[in-house]
Every structure is written in structure tokens, then in C-alpha cells.
């Protein structure tokens, strides 16, 4: 495993999503991310909470061996609690669960915390911020989905920016400390829009790994979100 390095928590942060990477050349894809300023986003899907199936702790463990970057694990799985220790043991630094996927959201967030990971909560496009309000105080990361979860390469939903602004205002009023992350359809143009609304962590799959020059595409995203 590469030597542990400082985990960046100062925004803006770009988080390349391996969902759109070539899994037969994962090492090459992961080498693009700069561990001193970026997170690597891992999308875990169960064909139940979302109609797609990806990978579990074994692949997260393989990713862990290939990068020292902060691993931002996005669990799109129903009732993730019992798997949280396995993802943590595999090397997840931050674990984001879905508000809509857990009967006991507070308990599941507490399980993430108890396992020593940074605590993230994701909300689907149709979920208003108010529904998740009572959990906001306990979060390190609030993930506002800007597409329906399940697939890469979808169009950015610009109407989610009202929710991002609301999350920013709420944090200011209530002295919250979560970072606001956006996920879905993020490319340089939409990242700028999201940044203006208050987003700080920018997940991007297609806009990096489906481009002819992924390194240049990542650089363009970095430039787009630069303060
Ligand atoms: C979608 C995933 C995203 C996905 C984003 O459910 O949560 O992380 O990788 O892909 P792009 O950037 O291609 O929209
Ligand atoms: Zn994701």
C-alpha cells in the first residue's frame, strides 16, 4: 500500500469516479488523481436500491492498494449498515450512505462514525433537504445527487442547485461543518454552475474517464472549480 498522506479536506476538491474508468486498467486510471488534493470516488451499487450492480469491499481494497488518495465510498445499497465495517476495513476513508436506503438513518450514520470513517449522507433528486435536516449536524459530507443514482454519463440536473444553495445557507445559519458534494453530470461547465451555488466537492466520471485525454480532462475540471 502506498504511504498514507494528508487527506485533503479543503475545497474545492475534484473526485474522479472510477465508475467510468476502464477496470482492466484501473492502476492507470487511479494514477491520474493527485492524493494531495483529490478524492477517489467509488460507486457501490446493489441492483436493489439502484438498477445497476458494481462492486463491493474486495474491489475497494484493490483500489486502496493502488492509490493513497482519500477513498470516498458512495454506497447505493439498501440497508448498508452491516457492510460498513467491511468497507472501512477495505480502506474507505469516507462512507456515504443514502437517506432513502436506510430505515434508521441516524443509526447507520452512527455506525459509519463508530467505524472511524468520515460520515456522508446522500440525497436523491426527489428528496428535499428538509427530509434530511435532522441529520445535517452529524455530517462531514452532504452529497446532493445531480442525477438519478445508478449510472454514469447522465445529464446534470441544474434544478438541484436550489438544494445546494439551501444546504450552504443552512450550514451558515446553523454552523454546520459538512462539505457539499455534487455527483452526476459534472463537467467543467456544470462544475462552475455547482460551484457558484455552493458545491465544494465535484464527483466526475464520464467527464474524465470517457474523454480521449483523461489527464487533460481532469486538469480542465481542476481549472473550472478553482477559486
Ligand atoms: C451515479 C454515480 C456517480 C457517477 C457519476 O449514480 O453516483 O458517481 O459515477 O458519473 P458521471 O460523472 O459520468 O455523471
Ligand atoms: Zn457516486
* Mean pLDDT per 10-residue section of the chain, whose length is 227 residues: 62 98 98 97 98 98 98 98 98 98 98 98 98 97 98 98 98 94 98 98 98 98 96
Residue 208 CA, closest ligand 1 atom number:
12
pLDDT at 6: 58
Residue 186 CA, closest ligand 1 atom number:
12
Mutate to test the pocket of ligand 1, among 100, 121, 205, 209 (most ligand atoms within 8 A of CB): 205
189 is catalytic: no
pLDDT tens, residue by residue, 31-45? 999 999 999 999 999
Question: What separation in Å is there between the alpha carbon of 42 and the centre of ligand 2?
Answer: 7
pLDDT at 42: 99
pLDDT at 3: 44
Ligand 1 lining (C-beta closer than 6 Å): 17, 19-20, 41, 43, 74, 147, 149-150, 152-154, 183-186, 203-207
pLDDT at 55: 98
Whether the Cβ atoms of residue 204 and residue 223 lie closer than 8 Å to each other: no
Is this structure's pTM higher than 0.95? yes
169 is catalytic: no
Rounded distance between C-alpha atoms, residue 150 and residue 170, angstroms: 28
pLDDT at 208: 98
Residue 50 CA, closest ligand 1 atom number:
6
Q: Which of 93, 183, 189, 213 is catalytic?
A: 183
What are the grid coordinates assigned to 125, written together?
433528486
pLDDT at 8: 86
pLDDT tens, residue by residue, 78-90? 999 999 999 999 9
Rounded distance between C-alpha atoms, residue 114 and residue 109, angstroms: 9
Mutate to test the pocket of ligand 1, among 98, 152, 206 (most ligand atoms within 8 A of CB): 152
Amino acid at each position: 500500500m502506498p504511504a498514507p498522506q494528508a487527506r485533503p479536506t479543503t475545497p474545492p476538491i475534484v473526485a474522479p469516479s472510477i465508475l467510468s474508468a476502464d477496470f482492466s486498467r484501473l492502476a492507470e486510471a487511479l494514477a491520474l488523481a493527485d492524493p494531495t488534493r483529490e478524492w477517489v470516488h467509488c460507486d457501490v451499487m446493489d441492483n436493489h436500491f439502484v438498477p445497476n450492480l458494481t462492486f463491493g469491499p474486495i474491489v475497494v481494497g484493490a483500489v486502496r492498494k493502488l492509490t493513497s488518495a482519500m477513498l470516498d465510498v458512495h454506497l447505493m445499497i439498501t440497508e448498508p449498515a452491516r457492510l460498513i465495517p467491511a468497507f472501512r476495513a477495505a480502506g474507505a476513508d469516507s462512507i456515504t450512505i443514502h437517506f432513502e436506503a436506510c430505515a434508521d438513518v441516524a443509526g447507520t450514520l452512527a455506525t459509519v462514525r463508530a467505524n472511524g470513517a468520515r460520515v456522508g449522507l446522500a440525497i436523491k433528486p426527489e428528496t428535499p433537504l428538509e427530509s434530511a435536516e435532522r441529520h445535517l449536524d452529524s455530517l462531514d459530507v452532504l452529497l446532493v445527487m445531480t442525477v438519478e443514482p445508478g449510472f454514469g454519463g447522465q445529464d446534470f440536473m441544474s434544478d438541484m442547485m436550489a438544494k445546494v444553495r439551501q444546504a450552504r445557507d443552512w450550514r451558515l445559519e446553523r454552523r454546520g461543518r459538512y462539505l457539499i458534494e455534487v455527483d452526476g453530470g459534472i463537467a467543467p461547465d456544470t462544475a462552475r454552475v455547482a460551484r457558484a451555488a455552493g458545491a465544494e466537492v465535484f464527483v466526475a466520471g464520464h467527464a474524465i474517464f470517457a474523454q480521449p485525454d483523461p489527464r487533460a480532462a481532469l486538469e480542465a475540471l481542476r481549472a473550472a472549480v478553482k477559486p
